[in-house]
Structure formats: structure tokens, C-alpha cells
Amino acid sequence: MKLDHSYYLGNNVVKIARNLIGKILFTHFEDVTCAGIITETEAYAGIRDKASHAYGGRRTARTSIMYHQGGVAYVYLCYGMHALFNIVTGPSEVPDAILIRAIKPFYGEDKINVRLEKSQVKHGIIEGPGRVSKALGIKVIHTGVDLTGNMIWLGNTGINIDPQDIICSTRIGIAYAEEDAQLPYRFNLSKRLAEVLKES
């Protein structure tokens, strides 16, 4: 059920980002477990990707966790108020990461709704990376958390997803990345399958 360390060590971050669609993201804070099915991801391909925080080998206090071996969390603050949750992948010293942009609530919806306050879940999916973190209780201090531990982890559903149900497109909010903004590094579940999942 729980994805183990080897899952995160592959050096093809785009492939992992695609594979994460349909996996379940769990959190366990304050004695409460919540979970959501991942429906949207974006890959950030280390030092060669202008959209990545590690572009050109940039390495600062904030981004140093990206150089850790895959399987830990990278959470950072965006626009001064949103904690964005990323999954670090690849071998040590390869700063690849995957941003989780949307989930479908799967477990602990009561707590999720409390955390989201006024902005409740619409059409069954929590869209927007800031809202995903808010819903699951993930904060900047969770940077570095081991994703095979008991605070944040990922699991398999056992549901098989047809490759045709994964839509690939360009990433959002990275105009500064110039030509790399055109890379097909964003993945989401097709509307059709999202509807099916909504039923379950």
C-alpha cells in the first residue's frame, strides 16, 4: 500500500509525475488522518529546467532539500501566504521535484472541510496547490519530512488508470521560464475519470 523509498529514486521526474496521478496522498497531524487522490501534478526537472528553483544548480537554504535523495517533502511559501507541497525525487544531488496541484478528497473529509474554512470543495476536487496543502494541514515546517514515515506518505489505490485518461499540458504560472514554459510537464486526470472517481 505505502509507496517505499525505491519509488522516488528514479531519475525521470516527468515519468514519476505522470505515475503519481491516481496515487493517494496521506497526512497524519494532530492525531487525525486525511487523504486525497492525486489528480494533478507538475514536474520540475532539476538544474536544466528554467522553471525549477534549482535551475542552473542554484542551491540555497530554501532549496537545499531538493538535492536530497528522493522521497522527502519540499514545502515552500509562495506569494507570502501559500505553502506549496512538492515531492523530491531522484538520486542524491539531483534536485528534481514534483508539485501536487490538485487532489480528490478520499479520507477525513470532515477535517479537510474544517481546514478549508469558507473555501469548500467544489465539483469534488480540491484544485490549486495552496489549497491542497491547506486541506491536508501541510506547512512550510514540513520540508524535509520523510515520505515513508508516519506524518506524510503516499499509497496505491489499486485502481488501474488508462494512459488515455491522463492529460498532458504545459505548466502554470511560470512565464519567467521562457521556452521551458512550453514543456509538457503538467499532468491531470481526464474529466471523464475524475467524474467516475467522484462517484466512489
Residue 176's SS3 state is: helix
Residue 124 falls in which region: left (phi positive, over 0), alpha (psi -120 to 50) or beta: left
**What is the closest distance, in whole angstroms, from the C-beta atom of residue 53 to DNA in the complex?**
4
Residue 179, φ and ψ in degrees, nearest 5: -65, -25
**What is the closest distance, in whole angstroms, from the C-beta atom of residue 71 to DNA in the complex?**
16
Taking alpha carbons only, the member of 80, 78, 131 closest to residue 101 is: 131
Beta bridge pairs of residue 29: 32
Nearer to DNA, 126 or 193 (CB): 126
Nearer to DNA, 161 or 177 (CB): 177
Nearer to DNA, 55 or 153 (CB): 55
Taking alpha carbons only, the member of 20, 28, 141, 126 closest to residue 76 is: 141
Residue 40, all three cell numbers: 494533478
Binding site for DNA (CB under 7 A): 42, 44, 51-53, 58, 60-63, 74, 76-82, 84, 86, 97, 99, 116, 118-119, 127-132, 140, 171-174, 176
Nearer to DNA, 73 or 160 (CB): 73
**What is the closest distance, in whole angstroms, from the C-beta atom of residue 55 to DNA in the complex?**
8
Residue 175, all three cell numbers: 512565464
Residue 6, all three cell numbers: 525505491
Nearer to DNA, 119 or 150 (CB): 119
Nearer to DNA, 28 or 139 (CB): 139
**What is the closest distance, in whole angstroms, from the C-beta atom of residue 15 to DNA in the complex?**
17
Strand blocks (E) in 45-178: 73-78, 82-89, 96-107, 126-127, 152-155, 166-169
**What is the closest distance, in whole angstroms, from the C-beta atom of residue 169 to DNA in the complex?**
13
**What is the closest distance, in whole angstroms, from the C-beta atom of residue 25 to DNA in the complex?**
15
